[in-house]
């Protein structure tokens, strides 16, 4: 397969790494500091500095103590409701007709739908029933327990190879070396994507999915170029797979040969591909970094993991709860309604803060602490709830479990040993950089 990666001077393809799009964004903000929005309301948690500096916890705790819903009349994203309790988020997600996900109503993040920024690609996460049901069905068979079993060996082999290659007694960035690499590898295995080109998935995902970038109009052209490049690559892959007599087990072959695909137009196919790449990328990546950071912050829990590997499946759930790699999703009211004593108007924006629901003391004892023996860790909302609950949850859980099992097998202990840089965003919740050192236990 010919590669479409940008070329270096010597004619060899160069695979861009993830910070590229982010660096471009930062440069832009330096050039246009007046573009940086201001936030004045005390409960305006759309401000990204509180996530970058990891000081969002008391603000949400104060809101939860006062009630499940809080109205913010003014913000750089317009007016919105903060939904902060576990119960209220489940309630809203269980009523998808009343609380819509569709682009037509405003989309799935606090950010308004931005036609010029190219965010309007149709994808089923931003569709309501019945369209959502049909399109989700085209990809759901790739995530059954049987498929997970099929992928287990290859994910385990790739994970083991990477862990064996890590330097000992040397400081390195866990985000780039492990989290990005393993997540990209997992997606390449899912898609049957050419292994040598896998870093393109990371590159495309950063440009397509970074909501900060989507707000900056100057970057729109560059973004379109990158997405166009991605379209051309997948079209070629698609043609190759369509010619195969026996459909392969990978997701692209599965989509091509699914009867529902006949009703999907090419923009929808592209939109759903982006959804799968972006949906699986930052989320799994940031949980892998979150695990290491949380184990370092709670060494008693790391010790427990080292002594009792049978706790690994529950540790995966607890680490996902603790990290919550997507801080929020958004719904828009399609009718006037009353909700937990508040009057909601048609068109109101409801921001469902999973980050807060997963620290809800009404459900989780000592919620700010990592506890890998927590009995109800599974009840976290990091994958959402209801008809849109994450379709890739099993795959993410599989990759995270394998990572912990393979680390344990090698008696690997990972310490934070240098810079820790968090993502400055209100949607993706994670780490840009996490410098670590590996020792043995
Ligand atoms: C939907 C989180 C991994 C693909 C979602 C939603 C959340 C989420 C919060 C929206 C749920 C809602 O609106 O109720 C996560 C987390 C992950 C993860 C925390 C990892 C720890 C993955 C992976 C894939 C994936 C590995 C695929 C490769 C999707 C898709 C949807 C989705 C396609 C849309 C589902 C729908 O609208 O029906 N995910 N995700 N995710 N996720 Fe994930």
Give every CB contact of residue 266 below 8 A, 6+ residues apart in sequence.
none
395 in contact with ligand 1, CB cutoff 6 A: yes
How much distance in Å is there from the Cα of 240 to the middle of ligand 1?
Answer: 28
Give the span between the Cα atoms of 8 and 11, in whole angstroms. 5
How much distance in Å is there from the Cα of 438 to the middle of ligand 1?
Answer: 31
Kindly tell me if the per-residue pLDDT of 284 is higher than 90: yes
User: Looking at residue 4, what is its pLDDT?
Assistant: 41
DSSP state of 180: I
User: Looking at residue 157, what is its pLDDT?
Assistant: 98
Kindly tell me if the per-residue pLDDT of 269 is higher than 70: yes
User: Looking at residue 60, what is its pLDDT?
Assistant: 98
Mean pLDDT value across residues 62-88: 96
279 in contact with ligand 1, CB cutoff 6 A: yes
User: Looking at residue 297, what is its pLDDT?
Assistant: 98
Which residue owns the Cα nearest ligand 1 atom 5?
390
Between 228 and 360, name the one with better pLDDT.
Answer: 360
Kindly tell me if the per-residue pLDDT of 25 is higher than 60: no
323 in contact with ligand 1, CB cutoff 6 A: no
How much distance in Å is there from the Cα of 280 to the middle of ligand 1?
Answer: 7
How much distance in Å is there from the Cα of 429 to the middle of ligand 1?
Answer: 14
Give the tens place of pLDDT for each residue, 80-136.
999 999 999 999 999 999 999 998 888 898 987 654 444 467 889 999 999 999 889
Mean pLDDT value across residues 300-309: 98
How much distance in Å is there from the Cα of 67 to the middle of ligand 1?
Answer: 27
User: Looking at residue 18, what is its pLDDT?
Assistant: 39
Kindly tell me if the per-residue pLDDT of 35 is higher than 80: no
**Contact at 8 Å (CB) between 105 and 137?**
no
Q: DSSP string covering 35-86, please?
A: GS----STT-TT-THHHHTT--HHHHHHHHHH-SEEEE---TT-SEEEE-SH
Mean pLDDT value across residues 387-392: 98
User: Looking at residue 210, what is its pLDDT?
Assistant: 58
Kindly tell me if the per-residue pLDDT of 412 is higher than 70: yes
CB-neighbour burial class of residue 269 (10 A; exposed 0-12, middle 13-18, buried 19+):
buried
Of the segments 33-37, 48-52, 435-439, which one has the largest average pLDDT value? 435-439
User: Looking at residue 36, what is its pLDDT?
Assistant: 58
125 in contact with ligand 1, CB cutoff 6 A: yes
Domain ranges of the chain: 37-110+125-197+280-440
How much distance in Å is there from the Cα of 276 to the middle of ligand 1?
Answer: 8
251 in contact with ligand 1, CB cutoff 6 A: no
∠ CA 243-264-2, rounded to 5°: 40
385 in contact with ligand 1, CB cutoff 6 A: yes
| Residue 231: band (very low, low, confident or very high) from pLDDT cuts 50, 70, 90 | confident
**Contact at 8 Å (CB) between 253 and 104?**
no
Which residue owns the Cα nearest ligand 1 atom 37?
125
| Residue 12: band (very low, low, confident or very high) from pLDDT cuts 50, 70, 90 | very low
CATH ID of 37-110+125-197+280-440, from 2.40.50.140, 1.10.630.10, 3.40.50.720, 3.40.309.10: 1.10.630.10
Nearest to 426 by CA among 69, 60, 116: 60
Mean pLDDT value across residues 215-232: 72
How much distance in Å is there from the Cα of 168 to the middle of ligand 1?
Answer: 34
User: Looking at residue 3, what is its pLDDT?
Assistant: 39
Give the tens place of pLDDT for each residue, 144-199.
999 999 999 999 999 999 999 999 889 999 999 999 999 999 999 999 999 999 99
What is the ipTM, given to two decimal places?
Answer: 0.99
Give the tens place of pLDDT for each residue, 319-328.
999 999 999 9
Residues making up the chain, counted from first to last: 441
């Amino acid at each position: 397969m010919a590669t479409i990666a940008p070329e270096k001077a010597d004619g060899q393809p160069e695979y861009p790494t993830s910070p590229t799009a982010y660096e471009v964004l930062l440069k832009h903000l330096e050039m246009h500091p007046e573009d940086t929005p201001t936030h004045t309301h005390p409960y305006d948690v759309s401000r990204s500095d509180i996530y970058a500096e990891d000081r969002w916890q008391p603000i949400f705790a104060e809101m939860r103590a006062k009630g499940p819903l809080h109205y913010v009349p003014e913000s750089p994203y317009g007016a919105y409701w903060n939904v902060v309790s576990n119960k209220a988020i489940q309630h809203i997600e269980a009523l998808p007709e009343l609380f819509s996900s569709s682009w037509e109503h405003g989309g799935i993040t606090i950010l308004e739908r931005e036609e010029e920024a190219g965010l309007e690609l149709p994808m089923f996460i931003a569709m309501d029933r019945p369209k959502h049901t049909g399109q989700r069905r085209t990809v759901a068979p790739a995530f059954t327990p049987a498929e997970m079993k099929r992928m287990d060996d290859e994910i385990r082999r790739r994970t083991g190879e990477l862990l064996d290659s890590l330097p000992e007694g040397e400081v390195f960035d866990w985000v780039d070396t492990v989290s990005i690499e393993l997540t990209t590898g997992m997606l390449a295995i899912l898609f049957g994507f050419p292994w040598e080109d896998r870093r393109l998935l990371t590159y495309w995902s950063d440009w397509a999915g970074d909501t900060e970038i989507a707000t900056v109009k100057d970057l729109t052209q560059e973004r379109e170029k990158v997405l166009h490049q991605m379209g051309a690559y997948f079209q070629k892959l698609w043609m190759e797979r369509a010619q195969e007599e026996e459909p392969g087990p990978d997701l692209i072959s599965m989509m091509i040969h699914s009867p529902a695909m006949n009703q999907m137009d090419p923009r929808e196919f592209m939109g759903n591909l982006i959804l799968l790449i972006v949906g699986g990328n930052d989320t799994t990546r940031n949980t892998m970094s979150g695990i290491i950071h949380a184990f370092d912050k709670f060494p008693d829990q790391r010790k427990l993991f080292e002594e009792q590997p049978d706790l690994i499946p529950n540790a995966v759930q607890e680490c996902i709860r603790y990290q919550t790699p997507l801080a929020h999703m958004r719904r828009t009211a399609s009718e006037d309604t009353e909700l937990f004593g508040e009057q909601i108007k048609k068109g109101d924006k409801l921001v469902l803060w999973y980050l807060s629901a997963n620290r809800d003391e009404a459900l989780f004892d000592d919620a700010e602490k990592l506890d890998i023996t927590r009995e109800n860790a599974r009840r976290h909302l990091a994958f959402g709830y209801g008809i849109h609950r994450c379709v890739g949850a099993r795959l993410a859980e599989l990759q995270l479990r394998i990572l912990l099992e393979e680390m344990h097998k090698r008696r690997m202990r990972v310490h934070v040993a240098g810079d820790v840089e968090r993502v400055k965003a209100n949607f993706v919740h994670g780490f840009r950089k996490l410098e670590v050192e590996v020792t043995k236990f």
